[in-house]
């Protein structure tokens, strides 16, 4: 049956776990230039501590059980295996909410958020049924079926997923790549999507702005706010975009290392989590995310999907549904980069950045309830 949905459990074979531990135990460590901190990448002491914890202290089986506590499924859409969590709320007034992670992330990003959405402590707080797919090429939405899996195609797959699940009305939420996918779903399925809620932060907004044609020409360096945006755009081009340049041009080449070396994969992801957060992310949660990449060999396939997006112009139709923005680590720059029409939901939080579901899940859950509650 083409629409078939199969129950799924994560069950990593023990020999895969033993192999990971052996690779970490026999890792070859480089020297580093003293006194540079994070300016040249992940410091040796930090990566050693993470790797040692991953090898001897981190309990993958406990995290596997934690993930398996949520109902998981797979289905095939457009020739691609799609893995997703579907966590129903006990509340009869719950809103179906499709939430999409970004890069370098996975559904593990939402482990602190799901219960807050499905079972809020306050009896009068809006509840949600949560549907959290793994993007094509990420974690258990692998192997990648072929080229072409940019955000537009992923969004079309999400529309089909929600049809298969029988939802006539639902909301969408995401950050980073997930924000683009969520906005495109709203444009493709506006008759069923009741609202689109996305998260961003000043650094991410400025980074995205570097890819918007003509954005720099619209900014005035004499204006203090515009000057800050231009400086961040320039810093991203010079110092922050190397990971993206490699994956946008040679995903196959970097993929060999991301699949074969747990140290490279760990450094690749840990660097971004460090740079893109200002609130602590628990090391076990970080390593759960990295482990999903490792056990599914998805370092390679996620690189290919970033390549696809860099070479795609498929953004889908614009959304006409109610839109909400939650800005974490807010400052005056984001409103300049993201102009919104009057009446758009706009929330600002002083702390948190790129991964609010991991950094500030209670604040994010509250904002989702504030936005979607009146749309129920």
**CATH code, 331:** 3.40.50.1820
Residue 82 included in any domain: yes
Alpha-carbon span 62 to 225, nearest angstrom: 46
Number of structural domains (the chain) is 1
Contact 75, 321 (CB under 8 A): no
Within a domain: 42: no
170 has catalytic annotation: no
Catalytic: which of 103, 138, 243, 307?
A: 307
List the one residue out of 295, 273, 281 whose CA is nearest residue 42: 273
Flag whether the pTM goes above 0.95: yes
Residue 227 is assigned to a structural domain of this protein:
no
- Does the annotation mark 354 as catalytic? yes
Tell me, yes or no, whether 105 lies in a domain.
Answer: yes
Residue 30 located in a structural domain: no
Domain that holds residue 142: 5-19+56-201+241-375
Domain assignment of residue 47, yes or no: no
Establish if 364 belongs to a structural domain: yes
Catalytic residue among 176, 189, 284, 367, which? Answer: 176
* Chunked mean pLDDT (size 10), the chain, 376 residues: 90 98 97 94 97 98 98 98 98 97 98 98 95 98 97 97 98 97 97 98 95 90 96 95 96 98 98 96 98 98 97 85 97 93 93 97 98 95
211 to each of 6, 233, 244, how far by Cα in Å?
39, 9, 12
Residue 21 is among the residues annotated as catalytic for this protein = no
- 212 occurs within a structural domain: no
């Amino acid at each position: 049956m083409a629409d078939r949905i199969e129950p799924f459990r994560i069950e990593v074979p023990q020999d895969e776990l033993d192999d990971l531990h052996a690779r970490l135990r026999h890792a070859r460590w480089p020297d580093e230039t003293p006194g540079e901190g994070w300016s040249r990448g992940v410091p040796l002491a930090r990566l050693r501590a993470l790797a040692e914890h991953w090898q001897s202290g981190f309990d993958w089986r406990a995290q596997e059980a934690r993930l398996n506590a949520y109902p998981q499924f797979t289905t095939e859409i457009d020739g691609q295996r799609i893995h997703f969590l579907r966590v129903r709320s006990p509340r009869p007034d719950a809103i179906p909410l499709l939430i999409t992670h970004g890069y370098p992330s996975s559904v593990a990003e939402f482990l602190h958020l799901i219960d807050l959405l499905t079972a809020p402590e306050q009896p009068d707080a809006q509840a949600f049924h949560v549907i959290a797919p793994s993007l094509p090429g990420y974690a258990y939405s692998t192997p990648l079926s072929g080229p072409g899996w940019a955000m537009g195609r992923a969004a079309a797959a999400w529309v089909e997923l929600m049809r298969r699940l029988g939802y006539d009305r639902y909301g969408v939420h995401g950050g980073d790549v997930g924000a683009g996918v969520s906005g495109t779903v709203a444009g493709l399925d506006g008759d069923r999507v009741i609202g689109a809620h996305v998260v961003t932060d000043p650094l991410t907004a400025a980074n995205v702005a570097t890819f918007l044609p003509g954005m720099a020409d619209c900014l005035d360096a004499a204006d203090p706010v515009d000057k800050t945006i231009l400086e961040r755009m320039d810093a991203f081009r010079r110092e922050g975009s190397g990971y993206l340049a490699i994956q946008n041009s040679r995903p196959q080449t970097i993929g060999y290392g991301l699949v074969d070396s747990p140290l490279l994969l760990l450094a690749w992801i840990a660097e971004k989590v460090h740079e893109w957060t200002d609130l602590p992310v628990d090391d076990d949660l970080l390593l759960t995310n990295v482990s999903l990449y490792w056990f599914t060999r998805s370092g390679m396939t996620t690189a290919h999907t970033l390549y696809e997006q860099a070479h795609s112009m498929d953004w889908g139709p614009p959304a006409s549904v109610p839109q909400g923005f939650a800005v974490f680590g807010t400052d005056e720059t984001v409103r300049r980069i993201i102009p919104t029409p009057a009446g758009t939901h706009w929330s600002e939080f002083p702390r948190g950045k790129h991964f609010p579901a991991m950094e500030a899940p209670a604040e994010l859950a509250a904002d989702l309830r504030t936005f979607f509650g009146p749309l129920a």
